[in-house]
Amino acid sequence: MEENAPKWTDTEVAEIKETILTALESVIDPELGIDIVNLGLIYEVEFEQTGNTVIKMTLTTMGCPLADILTDNIQSALAEIPEVTNVEVKLVWYPAWTTDKMSRYARIALGIR
């Protein structure tokens, strides 16, 4: 195998990203009691051939005190995935989070129409 040859095919990378998203569903926002995926806080999952993974996410409010807790919980959840060798969580503020980003499940659970 060539040194620079990709370890995974595009299909496998897509499957790994799905596995990452599924793992992120185990990370619960302590204030709202809903996972960060269904809350719409995850904006992007980048997975590189090296196993380096970047999670771009936002928070419900700019000064949210839970950023460190959520980051730690994300690190723990993704540590279970063998393909993931390193995790970086990047907080982004654009586009701003709104309840429109929530899944139908999250809206129903929180009584939002």
Q: What is the pLDDT of residues 42-58, one digit of tens each?
A: 999 999 999 999 999 99
pTM summary value = 0.90
Radius of gyration of the chain (CA): 15
Q: What is the DSSP letter of 7?
A: S
* Residue 95: cis peptide before it, omega within 30 degrees of 0: yes
Token pair in block for residue 1: 């195998």
Q: What is the mean pLDDT of residues 76-83?
A: 96
Per-residue model confidence (pLDDT) at position 1: 45
Beta strands in the chain (DSSP E): 42-47, 52-57, 86-91
Percentage of the residues of the chain whose pLDDT score is greater than 70: 96
